Amino acid sequence: MKSTIAALALASLMPHLTPLAAQAQEPPRTPIKIGFVSTFSGPSGQLGQELLLGFRLGIASVGGQLGGRPVEIIEGDDQAKPDVGRQLVDKMIESNRVQIITGINFSNVLLAVAKPALDAGAFVISVNAGPSQLAGRGCHPRFFAAAFQNDTSAEAMGLHLTAKGVRRVYLMAPNYPAGRDYLNGFKRTFKGEIVGEVYTAFGQLDYAAEIAQLRAAGPEAVFFFYPGGMGINFVKQYAQAGLRAAVPLYGPSFSLDQTVLPAIGDAALGAFASSFWSESLDNAASRKFVADFEAAHGRIPAPYAAQGYDAARLIDAALKSIGGRIEDKAAFQRALETVTFDTVRGRFRFNTNHFPIQDFYLNEIVKDDRGRLVMGLRERIVADYPDAYAGECRMRPATN
| DSSP label of 146 | S
Residues linked to residue 194 through DSSP beta bridges, in sequence order: 169
**Domain ranges, residue 174:** 151-276+361-385
Of 322, 340, 358, which marks where a domain is finished? Answer: 358
Q: Which residues contact 149 (CB under 8 A, 6 or more apart)?
A: 130, 132, 135, 181, 355, 356, 387, 388, 389
Distance CA 125, CA 127 (A): 6
317 shares a domain with 290 = yes
Q: What is the mean pLDDT of each run of 10 residues along the chain (400 residues)?
A: 39 41 60 98 93 98 97 98 98 98 96 97 97 96 97 97 98 95 97 98 96 97 95 97 96 93 96 96 96 97 97 98 97 95 93 97 96 96 97 84
Question: Over the range 93-112, which residues count as b (16 or more CB within 10 Å of their CB) and which as e?
Answer: beeeebbbbbbbbbbbbbbb
Asked, for residue 9, whether it belongs to a domain, the answer is no
Distance CA 229, CA 233 (A): 6
262 shares a domain with 369 = yes
Q: What is the pLDDT of residue 387?
A: 97
Reduced to 3 states (helix: H, G, I; strand: E, B; else coil), residue 400 is: coil
Asked, for residue 393, whether it belongs to a domain, the answer is no
164 shares a domain with 92 = no
209 shares a domain with 113 = no
Asked, for residue 23, whether it belongs to a domain, the answer is no
Distance CA 189, CA 164 (A): 13
106 shares a domain with 43 = yes
Asked, for residue 391, whether it belongs to a domain, the answer is no
200 shares a domain with 124 = no
Contact 268, 256 (CB under 8 A): yes
Reduced to 3 states (helix: H, G, I; strand: E, B; else coil), residue 224 is: strand
Asked, for residue 397, whether it belongs to a domain, the answer is no
Reduced to 3 states (helix: H, G, I; strand: E, B; else coil), residue 213 is: helix
Asked, for residue 204, whether it belongs to a domain, the answer is yes
Q: How many domains does the chain have?
A: 2
Distance CA 34, CA 124 (A): 10
123 shares a domain with 70 = yes
213 shares a domain with 70 = no
Reduced to 3 states (helix: H, G, I; strand: E, B; else coil), residue 195 is: strand
Q: How many other CB atoms are found less than 10 A from the CB of residue 255?
A: 27
End-to-end CA distance of the chain: 45
φ/ψ of 42, rounded to 5, equals 80, -170
As a three-state string, the secondary structure of 320-379 is HHCCCCCCCHHHHHHHHHHCCCCCCCCCCEECCCCCEEEEEEEEEEEECCCCCEEEEEEE
Q: Which of 274, 314, 377 is nearest to 66 (CA)?
A: 314
Contact 223, 189 (CB under 8 A): no
Asked, for residue 4, whether it belongs to a domain, the answer is no
Distance CA 309, CA 320 (A): 17
Backbone angle region of 67, left / alpha / beta, with phi > 0 → left and psi within -120 to 50 → alpha: left
Strand order in the sheet with 71-77: 71-77, 32-38, 100-102, 123-126, 143-145
Contact 374, 300 (CB under 8 A): yes
Where would I find the H helices in the chain? 2-24, 45-61, 82-94, 107-119, 132-135, 150-164, 177-189, 208-217, 228-240, 261-264, 284-297, 303-321, 329-338
Q: What is the pLDDT of residue 396?
A: 81
344 shares a domain with 223 = no
Distance CA 265, CA 124 (A): 36
Q: Which of 123, 130, 138, 135 is nearest to 109 (CA)?
A: 130
159 shares a domain with 48 = no
226 shares a domain with 187 = yes
Q: Which of 83, 77, 8, 36 is nearest to 308 (CA)?
A: 36
Distance CA 304, CA 277 (A): 10
Q: Which of 38, 75, 376 is nearest to 228 (CA)?
A: 38
Distance CA 354, CA 373 (A): 34
Asked, for residue 223, whether it belongs to a domain, the answer is yes
| pTM, to two decimals | 0.89
What is the CATH number for 327?
3.40.50.2300
378 shares a domain with 240 = yes
